Amino acid sequence: MKRLAVYCGSASPADPRYIDLAREVGTVLAGRGIGVVYGGGRLGLMGAVAAGALDAGGEVIGIIPEALAGSEVANNDCTELHIVSGMHERKQRFTDLSDGFVTIPGGVGTMDELWEAISWAQLGYHTKPVGLLNAFGFYDHLIAFNRQMADVGFVRPAHQGIMIADESLDKLLERMAAYVPHTPIFKMKASDL
C-alpha cells in the first residue's frame, strides 16, 4: 500500500487522546512510507493526521471542496492540495488516489466516507481494503451494528469481511495488507443475490 485515505473528524474533542491518536496515525503511516490522502483541512483530527505525517517526512495529499477551501480551514502545508467542486468529487478522488481506506474516530462526514467505501467495495467499484481503527472502543457499537446487519441478512456472507476492524493500528495495517478482495455484486449471479 503506497497511499491510504484516512477518514476522520475535523473536530477537536475535549479528550486529548483523539488528537494524539490522529497525530500518531499520520506519523506511523509516514514511517512506513505510506502516503496520506485526506480531507485537506488543518483543524481537528484531520489537521493532526496531516501534521503527524508531514513532521515525519511523509507525503500528504489533501482534497478539499471549494466551499471549504476559502474559509481558512484548508491546510496549505500539504504536499499537494486539490480543490474540488464538491463532496462527490472529493470521495471519488480519495478512491482514485489511494490503495485503501483507514477510518479513525469522527462524526457524520466520517461515517459517510466509511459506508461509501464499504458500499463501493460490495458493488465492485473498487477492490481496496477498508479499515476501521477502533481506538478506545469508539466504534464498538458500529461494529455490533454491522454484525447485526449481517445476522439479519442485509450484508451477504461474501461481503461480511469488507470492513476490517481492529483496536491496534499495526494489526489493522497488517490485516489490510493481507486483504483478499471478495466477489462484488457486479460479478454475482442473480441466484447469489
Pure H helices in the chain: 17-31, 44-55, 66-69, 87-97, 108-123, 140-152, 169-177
Is the pLDDT confidence value at 113 over 80? yes
Instruction: List beta partners, residue 74.
Output: 41
Supply the range of the domain harboring residue 80: 3-192
* Three-state secondary structure call for residue 102: strand
Q: How many CB atoms lie within 10 A of CB 78?
A: 22
Give the separation between CA 49 and CA 131, rounded to whole angstroms: 16
Q: Phi and psi of 161, rounded to 5°?
A: -100, 10
Give the span between the Cα atoms of 123 and 126, in whole angstroms.
8
- Nine cell digits for residue 121: 467495495
Rounded to whole angstroms, the Cα distance separating 6 from 94 reads: 9
Q: Give the Cβ contact number of residue 81 at 10 Å.
A: 16
155-176 confidence digits (pLDDT tens): 999 999 999 999 999 999 999 9
pTM of the model: 0.95
CATH number at residue 94: 3.40.50.450
pLDDT tens digit sequence for 63-96:
999 988 877 789 999 999 999 999 999 999 999 9
Structurally, the chain folds into a number of domains equal to: 1
Mean pLDDT over 106-125 rounds to 96
Average pLDDT value for residue range 13-31: 98
- In whole angstroms, what is the distance from residue 21 CA to residue 8 CA? 11
Measured torsion, CA atoms of residues 23, 169, 110, 51, in degrees rounded to the nearest 10: 20
> Taking 80 as the threshold, does the pLDDT of residue 8 lie above it?
yes
